[in-house]
Chains A and B, each alone.
Chain A
Amino acid sequence: MNKNNLDQKLRYNDAGNVHMDFHGATNTTIEFIINKYGIETMNDIFKKVGNDVYKDIKDHIKKGNIKMLAKHWQHFFDRENADYNISINDEEIILTVNRCSAYEHVRKLVGNVSPNFCDQTIKTNEALAENTPYEIKTEILGEAACRQTIRKRA
């Protein structure tokens, strides 16, 4: 499918310059929260991001419109110049991230990336799919690489 052939308006549609250093602050935050409050607290915060911040995408998923999530992924992975492929159809979307620019930026910035850095993706995805007819599976394929799949629950 043509990457641009998704004629739906994103709730958050950012433009202009990209401040990649925010990923460094995310890494610091993950380490801080886990060290002080534990991993469950960090996961609960990601859950709030999935449920509340991304309420609009979640509402679309509930209604069976998973293409809004595809548009969100494309828009922001393009803005951050990540290397990825996406396959989109009405039933299933598979996003394969070959080189995550967020992960790579943090590695460049601070040297060591938190072992829980990718939880922001895994847990936010889980929350997005919770209480919807869909599941989102996030598989870590290696450093700075993952596959995210949304499809109907079995």
Chain B
Amino acid sequence: MIPSDHFTRFYNEVFKFLEDQGEEHLEAYWLEISKNQEKHTLELFKEKGLKGMYEYWDHIRIEENCDMDLKLDDEKLELRMNVCPSLSKVLDNDAEPMKRYCDHCAGWIGPLIDKVDHHLVYDVIDRKKPQCVVKIFKDKEKAIEEEKNAKLLMKWPGKK
């Protein structure tokens, strides 16, 4: 068994293999993970919108030991990841970290948020640091406006 605690280091090995095959291979995998995540998020997000997303990431915050602040208002959900346990483990690793490890997160979250008609702004800030800011808006124009403030804006399959 690869312990669940070490999944991200396994994930990192998978990403390195797929990156060598080409960008479309990585994207196909992110979409597969996104589809897998739909099983326990899609209905919740459709039914409760931003409140459902808050519930999901609040559960993740606890279960994955994230140092993360979550803020919900009528217009948006904001996740401020102060210390990301996923990238932290990949960096604390005897195997080489994939340089674009952070990209997978927008890679699976983006298509899911698109499906529920909300608008994701994913600022990774710096791929070498385990921190990021994720904002999910109801209103597309507000999301487009917010993109201007991002330091390192992430894309995903379907948003180039």
A9 to chain B, nearest CB (A): 14
Interface of B is mostly: helix
- Residue ranges of A at the interface with B (Cβ–Cβ < 8 Å): 11-12, 14, 16-26, 28-29, 32-33, 36-37, 41, 44-45, 48-49, 52-56, 76-77, 79-80, 97, 100, 102, 109-110, 120-121, 124
- Residue ranges of B at the interface with A (Cβ–Cβ < 8 Å): 1-11, 13-14, 17, 21, 28-29, 32-33, 36, 39-40, 60, 62-65, 89, 92-96
Contact of A80 among B4, B14, B95 (CB under 8 A): B4
> A14 contacts which chain B residues (CB < 8 A)?
3, 5-6
Contact of A55 among B2, B11, B95 (CB under 8 A): B95
Contact of A79 among B3, B28, B29, B63 (CB under 8 A): B3
Complex: how many Å from CA A29 to CA B33? 8
Are A53 and B4 also in contact (CB < 8 A) when A17-B62, A17-B64, A28-B33 are? no
Counting chain B CB atoms within 10 Å of each CB, which of A28, A53, A80, A97 scores highest? A53
> B13 contacts which chain A residues (CB < 8 A)?
45, 48-49, 52-53
Contact of A102 among B1, B17, B40, B92 (CB under 8 A): B1
| 7 additional contacts (CB under 8 A) given A12-B9, A54-B94 | A17-B62, A41-B17, A48-B95, A52-B13, A52-B94, A100-B1, A102-B4
Whether B5 contacts A79 by the Cβ 8 Å rule is yes
> A124 contacts which chain B residues (CB < 8 A)?
2
Interface of A is mostly: helix
A92 to chain B, nearest CB (A): 20
A99 to chain B, nearest CB (A): 12
Q: In chain A, what residue has the closest Cβ to B94?
A: A55
Complex: how many Å from CA A23 to CA B103? 21
> B11 contacts which chain A residues (CB < 8 A)?
25, 29
Contact of B10 among A26, A28, A100 (CB under 8 A): A26
> A121 contacts which chain B residues (CB < 8 A)?
1-2
